[in-house]
Amino acid sequence: MSKDQIDIAKLPKHIAVIMDGNGRWAKAQGMMRVFGHSSGVKSVREVSEGCAELGVEYLTLYAFSTENWNRPQVEVNALMTLLVKTIKKETATLMKNDIKLDAIGDRSMLPKECLEELNEAIETTRNNSRMTLILALSYSSKWDIVNATRKIAQMAKEGDIEPEEIGEELINKTLTTHKYPHPELMIRTSGELRISNFLLWELAYSELYFTDVLWPDFRKKDLYEAILEYQNRERRFGKTSEQISELKSK
């Protein structure tokens, strides 16, 4: 599988990834789960670089879910430390590659040091324009939808909107993902076939790609494989195959 097989004209603008299998990868080698997470950083680098080289405009990585706060405290602490260290260490690479960093999720839950490092990297990279790397941190889609619903209810209560004005557009605008187009492709590693509270609204029409590869083993060639499979699928958005062919021939 090589990069040349990919049709650049049909590239997804936005790819979202559930990076799964770090714990199992480490366990298979008789190592602590945390070793799996630190080894997963290389895959983060590979996928970010791979996407930027191809011309993908947005890459969202599910780095820490709201539910992950319930993991053993040592693992949560290790993950937070890893995030701080990685963000700090990789900011120069983001600058060199013209990549902008952003985050979605409940930042108020993050430890102070992690939040400061994250905000600093977001600020430093804010004028970069080749690709946007979005970290889903302390994120869950239900959290985002609940929050957006509260904001909209408040607007209605204050008389700023009428209930009839509540539609897809307003909901899109109120979610923390509002700045980005919805992902056309979602990749999940490690053989699990679930969405796990990730971008439930935004993935409505995305192509879902599941691979058995564990996240620390995920390399550029695996990314290319996922994109190629995406390009071979027919995206119908509720229409029939015939309607799609007709549209294409116009």
Per CB under 6 A, 23 contacts ligand FPP: yes
Asked if residue 188 lies in contact with residue 15, where contact means CB atoms within 8 angstroms, the answer is no
Calculated CA dihedral for residues 101, 107, 112, 114, nearest 10 degrees? -30
> Is 97 a catalytic site residue?
no
44's CB contacts (< 8 A; 6+ apart) are: 19, 61, 86
Span 191-250, contacts to ligand FPP by CB under 6 A = none
Is 40 a binding residue for ligand FPP by CB under 6 A? The answer is: yes
* Least distance (Å) between residue 54 CB and ligand FPP: 19
Beta carbon nearer to ligand FPP, 114 or 226: 114
Site membership for ligand FPP, residue 37 (CB under 6 A)? yes
Binding of ligand FPP at residue 107 (CB under 6 A)?
no
Catalytic site residue from 4, 7, 20, 172: 20
Query: Does residue 24 interact with ligand FPP by CB under 6 A?
Result: yes
Classified as helix, coil or strand, 34 is helix
d(CA 232, CA 162): 43
Handedness of CA 228, 229, 233, 235 (dihedral sign): negative
CA 192 – CA 226 distance, rounded (Å): 16
Q: Report which residue's Cβ sits closest to ligand FPP.
A: 23
Among 54, 59, 63, 213, binds ligand FPP (CB under 6 A): 63
**Residue 179, token pair as written in the block:** 């700045």
Distance of closest approach, residue 97 Cβ to ligand FPP, in angstroms: 15
Question: Which residue has tokens 């990076």?
Answer: 19
For residues 57 and 130, give the distance between their C-alpha atoms in angstroms, rounded to a whole number. Answer: 7
Rank residues 20 and 225 by Cβ distance to ligand FPP and give the closer one. 20
Task: Give the pairing of strands 58-65 and 185-188.
Answer: unpaired
Determine, following the binding rule CB under 6 A, whether residue 105 of this chain makes contact with ligand FPP: no
44 near ligand FPP, rule: CB under 6 A? yes
**Does 232 participate in catalysis according to the annotation?**
no
Taking alpha carbons only, the member of 40, 39, 83, 84 closest to residue 64 is: 83
21 in contact with ligand FPP (CB under 6 A):
yes
User: Active-site positions?
Assistant: 20, 68
Give me the residues that bind ligand FPP (CB under 6 A), please.
19-24, 33, 37, 40-41, 44, 61, 63, 68, 82-83, 86-87, 135, 190
